[in-house]
A and B are shown apart, each in its own frame.
Chain A
């Protein structure tokens, strides 16, 4: 790989990652502020962002630390909240043929809801694993930086500035639209919305995403089979 090629890969990755970075920034700041409130220093929360790198699980972890929860229950909760990544990595695997084990080990570290969504949309056109890795790692860098900054000066930033809290939901809406390839995809999305909301209302605790995704994808799959058999 020449230097010019590397530059193009970095540029393409950054062009894809910017909505994630924009969205991570206020969330990271908020997590840093929360961590401070619960007695964690800036480097403590930065270390957590480096070693765990999982937004929602870190919020829950920090809150549980604040209530003096047992470490084992924090780890178990983290696992339950993050087990959805099994599905994402399974879907990503098909785009990583031929990648060596070291590459996969590094790539896996950066598989998040957001990088998954951006990379899956891109993999349908001209995208490769190196550009995808840039998306993962840039997002990670911004996340670590924002959580540390939040712990240091986050209380100086006004809440809800410029609607930035909606950056990630808006990105998910746009990426969802890009995934609606057929009528079955649309029906699967609607089923996932209904099941996810109902699951969250009846069984809160962070399992709604994985449960609704499995149920809705299975329902969509059955529809697909029925259509083929007609």
Chain B
């Protein structure tokens, strides 16, 4: 691929990434939405966080198959408990990394 072609590719990738990030902000920031839509949007953070996280715990990457023995899944358990107990991001990240490091040496 020539360099100008590469630049055009980046501009295309950038545009289709930027527009979904921008358009809802511009369209919705100064509008008061109906209560129903606000309730639905209020559930989006929890839904999307869980949806983003789940495959990294339960799906084996290379084969795209269900996996119940990943180091990520086992490390997630103490991380979850500490997060529930302390509600501290720092504690959860530190303990999660430590657990994962130990587990990935033995699994």
Residues of A at the B interface (CB closer than 8 Å) are: 19, 22, 44, 47-48, 51-54, 57, 61, 65, 71-72, 74-76, 78-79, 82-94, 96-99, 101, 104-105, 107-109, 111, 113, 116-117, 120, 160, 162-167, 169-180, 184-185, 188-197, 200-201, 204, 208-214, 216-218, 220-221, 224
Contacts and interface: CB of A to CB of B under 8 A. Distances in A.
B55 A75 contact: no
Contact of B25 (A48, A89, A194, A213): A89
A113 B50 CA distance: 11
Contacts of A97: 29-30
Nearest to A65: B1
Interface of B is mostly: helix
Interface string B57-69: 1110000111000
A200 B41 CA distance: 23
Given A82-B20, A98-B30, A91 B45 contact: yes
Counting chain A CB atoms within 10 Å of each CB, the highest count among B16, B44, B50 belongs to B50
Q: Give 7 closest A-B pairs by Cβ, nearest first.
A: A170-B96, A163-B101, A166-B100, A93-B28, A174-B92, A212-B51, A108-B22
A160 B104 contact: yes
Q: What band does the interface of chain B fall in when counting residues whose beta carbon is under 8 Å from A?
A: 35 or more
A191 B80 CA distance: 17
A179 B89 CA distance: 12
Interface of B: 1, 5-14, 16-18, 20-30, 33, 36, 38-59, 64-66, 72, 75-76, 79-80, 83-84, 87-90, 92-93, 95-102, 104
B101 to A, nearest CB: 3
A173 B89 CA distance: 9
